Structure 1
Amino acid sequence: MTHESETAGLQRLLAHPDGLTLVAKLPAIHSPADILSATSKLKSEGYDAELIAAALTQQRLRAKAETKFGPFAADLLFTTEGLEQATRLDIAARHAQRFRDAGCTRVADLGCGIGTEAFAFAGLGLDVVAVDADETHAALALLNLRTFPGVSVHHARIEDLGLAALGVDGAFADPARRGSGERRFDPETWSPPLSSILALRDEVPNLGIKVAPGIAYEHFPADVAVQWTSVAGSVVEAAIWCGALAPEGSSRTALVLAADDTSATYRADISSPRAPSPTVPVAELGTYLHEVDGAILRAGALSAVADTLGAGLISARISYLTSDAPADLVGVTSFKVDAVLPAKTKTLAAELKKRDIGSLEILKRGTDIVPDVLRRQLKLRGERAATLIMTRIDGRHRAVLASRC
């Protein structure tokens, strides 16, 4: 379904007097058979095909949204684009906590999309002014936030607003980072540009900005805190925090939220968020190899982990660490080194056969191999499992056969 047809279907659904009731009465959809059954039933009740398709799309998006919103997804409305760009509700709740801890009582959610951030802000008792330039998303935000009396929603461009006139003491901005369906990596091509959003500090010093995780340090002001967040090993966002929203001061940090509900924060040893990351010395490969969470790497806090572990890099510009003891840190996975082998398919195949290895996890850094292709070439046969790490050791291509700790 194209963006235009999805939007048209949603608008038709919202305009129909029984549209929202139709979505609410739909059963759970788990298979094509469920779709056919629901479609047949709704047609027999007099609903037209376009309205049914729009309702089923919402049901599909709600099921997909459960990973971000949990049980709240069942009461929200989405577009595919809005869901993709929406902040996870648990992360949005952490944003809201920052604003409340900073003493903010009325927050502007700029570029609110379907209303996720505003939902979290209002859930903590903050008054919210939600704004989006997209008419469909503004309409969805209005519906998704309808149960909160302290929320108002505006269809407007961030550039055309006067924040002081809105009476807010805090603002959160999520600029559009896509154009013509493609990601825009230069922050000055975002809508609005990053520099324009940072200028809003003159009106509201307590400003938060959601940015692309791959943003270069040179784009940060010297007096802000920047935090990267990962969830269960995936980097989900980066955000700039200004004013009282940055109690940690000028910094780069990584917040790691593990799948087992543990968490940890790592801080880069730098004097300014614009500064280059501290270097980590290369060390001889020890008993253990450590893989570090992507948020830690993006924040430039690898040296903090290395110092804690007494570890070094296995090779220059390769972010695997090594030491003689396993790590007990959130966001760090340790592997016991069983063998170091030449990175040659025939040699590896023979060694894996000798070790009776038939199940192989393949990790890589510093090499252009394709794990699935290599796995097929190795023609695995055996009863045991192992991890194969294709990388560089002291600058040379090597294969590390290892066991997860």
Structure 2
Amino acid sequence: MSGNSDPLSPRAKLAVTAGRAVAAASRAAGRGSGSVIGGRVALKLDPDLLARLAQHLDVILVSATNGKTTTTRLIAEALRAAGPVVSNALGANMPAGITSALAGGSDARYAVIEVDEKYLAGVARDTDPKAIALLNLSRDQLDRAAETRMLAEHWREGLAGSKSVVIANADDPLVVWAASSSPNVVWVAAGQMWKDDAWSCPSCGGVMQRPGDDWYCGECGFRRPTPSWALSGDHVLDPHGSAWPIHLQLPGRANKANAASSAAVAAVFGVPPQVALERMYQVQAVAGRYDVVQFMERDLRLLLAKNPAGWLETFSLIDPPPTPVILSVNARGADGTDTSWLWDVDYTRLSGHPIFVIGDRKLDLAVRLEVANQTFQVCENLDQAVQIAPPGRIEVIANYTAFQDLRRRVGN
């Protein structure tokens, strides 16, 4: 495949057209956005389509266990200061969904693409990205996802010798180990609240020492690199030591960390931190997350939490007790069918909140809450939970398919 500016080949054009037609038919049938099925059809017709679509774009890939959809959105907003952007903003983050997104961006200059952790190496090979943002790695979907160190190894091998600028979280030892095979890394001190997947050294298996915010392996000397960007309270510190205020409509420390990483990515493309951070303020909600919706004459705030690290971050966002909290957990294909991860979540942090439990696996969650000594009620559905919840805004926390169910129910 040539790197010149040839328009798409007839075969590639046919693939794009067919993909769009299938996606439109899927939407018309009420089966979602159609981006995945459209992309699958397009790739069947032209297996090299992703590479062809990417060749005229500056591609930025974003991968992590948590925060990739939000960070992708923040980077896309920041880069719009420098030119038109195409992005898979709805989170279809495997090759088919990514192909669909790029097929819709013929006049774009930048492609900001969220990538599922397992597909990062392959998508990077196909799209020749200018930048790759790596935020965190933690346990997720126990029945499907490889153990976290294996994922880190997969990243490390896939990025070895890469020409991309890798923007990586210096506070996550697994991410640092994965990124260290890359010749060009920008380290960001973005923090790491969840540490339970990084107690042993990914390099040699030794025990990690964690004095303060630092970390190192006492056995092989693998240690936290010196960051050039850092999140410090409500500011981003840039490599020159200047502090830039973060103003976000999205809540919580995790989103400030996402903004710090996004500012570092934007700087690679010449967008100054002040401009990047100002543009990020536009983002109010990301694919329904953080939205406050009216339902049955009540305000509900919708929060997505898919794994133990995500639940920990989400608990730090919710209004203090006695704010009512509805928890919904499913275990369908997209969630992972193994719910044993519920035992890794510290539900004692919900003490004092009236708790209502719904979802396909409400009984699994009920057992977990019982052991955590929490007071809760199991309800048939969202309507019943909202009906009996005490006054005040309700925090609704759900895992992936449960979150989609909720959005459909509240018409969001």
Larger radius of gyration: 1
Q: Which has the higher contact order (CA 8 A, sep 6+)?
A: 2
**TM-score scaled by structure 1?**
0.32
Greater fraction strand: 1
